[in-house]
Structure 1
Amino acid sequence: MMTSLFSSFDPMTSILQMNWISMISPIIILPKLFWTKKSRIMKMMKIMESLIIQEMKNITNHKEILILSKSLFLMIMIMNIMGLMPYNFTPTSHICVASIMALPIWMMLMIYGWMKFTNKMFMHLLPTGTPSLIMPMMIMIETTGNIIRPISLSVRLTANMIAGHLLMTLLGDMNNVNLISMILPMQIGLMMFESAISMIQAYVFCTLMTLYSSEIP
């Protein structure tokens, strides 16, 4: 029995939970599928990968970022969907998991950009046509917005995963037989909605990361 509402996000709540194995299992299983006979699942994955790359090409031309975006999208989406399964938890609902994906990528882009394109990185801090009186304020605002990017990426992903799962937990605790005809359709609809949110949040995370990389020449 759970001790609190938020204990559903605790990987050590029950022995039956898969704990952190659910987070690393896609990394272990997916590469092996490339060596097996092509199935419908693999064809669907290839179609999804091509769609992601075509979408991200409109934002950036860096091939490395395209490969990284594709891999991150698949990993985040699989972890989010696995969190909807019984006796499991969502790894991306933990801020530490979301931050270790956002912070290294942001640091990589910043270090590479400031070392190779210092002048152009300074140009991004001051938009063209800014009046002289508010130039210092704009530089401070742009610098602050640049620094909090990894925080916004990780908090956005974590908060969206927690919000829907908390609502599902609250509906699951309503065990009144008289209300089952009303609660069951709501739970089915919420499950479909959370499945869509799992894919949308993975797409938003990768799109924003690619958009940040487009500032680097």
Structure 2
Amino acid sequence: MTDESTILLVHGAWHGSWCWDLVAGLLRDRGWEVRTVDLPTVHSERKTDLALADDAAAVAAAIDAIEGPVTVVAHSYGGVPTTQGATDPKVTHIVYVAAFALDLGESLLAAVGNVAPDWWLIDGPLASAGTDAQPPQGLFYGDVDSALADACSARLLPQSLRAFTDTIDQTAWRDRPSTYIITEQDVIFPVVAQEALAARSGSVAVRLDTSHSPFLSQPDAVADVIENAARS
């Protein structure tokens, strides 16, 4: 067993572990052990059959594979399977990055008003992000270098719709400290909603003047917050 926390990075909807590359590289350069997980409702070949429970199980399995304490960092939708699945006593801190720190019986869709946003493209059991009128570059990457924003937008994948409609029955944030990064330029996740989730979960709030993807526009600042949480 090690006394130093391993950092597990959990991506948000439609994304993959690739979105953490800049932050992961910075943390590794600073001497931290970093792991990532690709959520199956985005990346599995059979994702149309999968649900929130499968993502939560993937988070739990990634934690189980780590020896010693774990700091889990979750972005956006990734906060839902993290809240559900990061209940192992090894998890010593959760960092929510503009994330859905939900409570018992809540779903992501309910948290956004029970109506899918108009920039979701729903095709049967799958949902995609962005339209011609509201492309991903503006939704997720408003303050990100344009070439990087284009490259990231091209990597987004459809996701199982059930991941957004299923409710949670465990709340990892109740049993351990948490930090919440509030993204103040966010156009898809209102700051007031982030503030409310941070307060309800008892999180230490850290404000960054960024879009929904601070791990791309301000990776050093995000790495600093994660490092502070991992040391606490």
TM-score range, shorter chain: under 0.3
Compare CA radii of gyration and give the structure with the larger one: 1
**So what's the TM-score if we normalise by structure 1?**
0.25
**So what's the TM-score if we normalise by structure 2?**
0.24
- Write 1 or 2 for the structure with the bigger share of helix: 1
- Write 1 or 2 for the structure with the bigger share of strand: 2
